[in-house]
Chain A
Amino acid sequence: MKKLGGFVEGFILFALGLAMSGLVKSDNYWLYLNPKFKWLTLITGIVLMLLGLIAAVRNRRPNLSRIVVFLVFGSIAGVGYLMPNPTAPAFSSSLTESANANKVESRLTLGGQEFIKINLGELFNISEMEEANEIGEHYVTRGVVKRSPELDEKGQFVLFRVFMWCCFADAVAVGFRVSYDHPHELQDGQWAKVYGKLRQLPSKLPEPNVPVRGITSKALNKVYGIAAHKVEEIDPPPIPFMFEFRKSEPYAY
C-alpha cells in the first residue's frame, strides 16, 4: 500500500511538472502569469518531473491528505483551464499576435494629426510626471469601455485595461475617464481605440461605480482624463492584458 501511495505521489508531482511545462508552450500562459516568467515555470516543471520520477520509485512515505489536496487543486486548475472564458470580451482571445508587432509604426495619422500609440499604463506613467512635455502630446490608446448612468450624464466613460506585473492575483485595472460626446453609442465592455489628449480633471470627482470583472485593484486616474478626438470600437487585441511599460517611443501599446 505504501508503495502504491508513494507511486501516486510521484505521479502527481510528475503530472504537475508536465502540466507546467505544457502551459509554457500553450497559448494561455498569459492568463495566469506574465510571459516574462515562462522560463521560470519551465525550469520548475522540468525539476518537478524529475522529482516525480524519483518519488514514484523511491517514495515509501505517502500521505493521503497531500494526495487529496493536490488532486483537488488539479481538478480546479483543470476546470478553469478547460472551461470557456466567461469574462469575454475583456480577457478572452487566442494568442495570435504577430511576432512583428514591435516593428509596427509607433504613430498613427488621423485627419493630418499624428497620434502616438501608447498603452493605458504608459499613459498613466506620463500623467504622473510633473511638467513633462509628453503630457501635451496626441495619443491613441486601447481598452475596455466601462459606462455608468452618472458618467453618461457628464458625457464620459471610463477606459480600462488590465496590467499584470506577476500573476493574475496581482492584476490591476488601469484606467482614465474619457470625455466623449456620444458615450451612449458605445457598449459597456466593448473594446475601443481612443484618439485624444490628456486633460486635467476638476478636483474631487466622485469615484464612478464601474467594476472590472475579476479584478480587485483598480487605478483610475484622478488628475488627468482623456479628451477624445475620436473613439472607434475594435475587436479585443490578441493579448488584452498589459505586461510591459516603456518610458519612451516606441511604446508597448
Chain B
Amino acid sequence: MDLTLAIIVTVVGASTPILIAALGELVVERSGVLNLGVEGMMLIGAIAGFVVQFHTGNPYLALLSGAAAGTAASLIFGFLTLSLSANQTATGLALTIFGTGFSALAGSSYSARPVTLMQPFLPVEIAAHPIGKVLFGYSFPIYFAFAMVVVIWYFLHKTRAGLILRAVGENDQSAHSIGYSVIGVRYLAVMFGGAMAGIAGACFPLLLTPQWAERMTAGRGWIAVALVVFASWKPFRLLAGAYLFGLVMTMELYAKAGGGVLSVIPSELWAALPYLATIVVLVLISLRRDASTNAPACLGKPFLPTN
C-alpha cells in the first residue's frame, strides 16, 4: 500500500512539468506556430524560479517569476518569427541554445545551494488519510495543471477567442481577410506558451530536486513537444500522455523496489527509456490513419498577408 502510494505521488510529480509545458505548446501550435524553444524557456523559468525561491522562500512568487521569465524568452522567439518572419525551426533551436547558456550563466553562483520544496496546497488535516494524501496532498502546480487542461479545452472549443485562435492556425489568410490580426493572436499564443514553459521549468527546483543544476530539465521540454503530436493537439489526450510519461520516467524506482527480473536492467537503460518511449509513441501515433490530419494546417509556416 505504501509503495503504491509512493509510486502515485512520484508519477504525479514527474508528469506535472511536462503537462504544463505541453499545454502551453499545444495552444501555440493551435495558432499555427511551432516553437521548438520549449526546453530553453523551461530552463530560463527554472533558474528564475530557483533564484526567487532561494531569496524569498515564496514558491508562488517563484512560479510567477518563472512565468514572467518564460514569457520574456518567448518574446525573443515571437519577435524573430512573427515580426521578422524568421524560420521557426531554426529560431526555436536558437532559443533552446540561448536558454541553456543563459540559465547556466545565471545559475553559476547558485550550485549546491538548496531551497525548500513547495508545501502541499491544502491543509494537512485533509491529507492525513492515505487516500486523502493521494488526492489532496500535492502542492499547487499539480492542481493548476489539471485545471489548465479543462480551461484550455474550454477556451479552444467553447469560446469565441478560442475559435479565432484555431482559425488563425488553420487558415491564416482567411482569418486575416475577415479582419483578425493573425500576428497579434500568434503573439499572445506564443507568450502564453512561454509563461507555461516558464512555470513548468520552475516546477523542477520547487517540486522535484530542490537545488539548481545545469540543464536540469534534461530534455523534458522536447518530450513535451512530442507529446503535443502524440495528443493530436487535444488537451485531454495530453493529460493521458503526460501521465503515461510520468509512469515511464519513474519506472526505475519500482522496478528496483520490486526486485526480480526488472531490477537487473542497468540504470542507464531506465534513464534512456523516456526518450526511447517518445520515439515509440511517435511511431504508434503515425500508424493511426488520422494522425497528420489533426495538425493545424498553418503549423510552422510564416504568415505574410497576400494583400
- A and B interact: no
Binding site for B on A (CB under 8 A): none
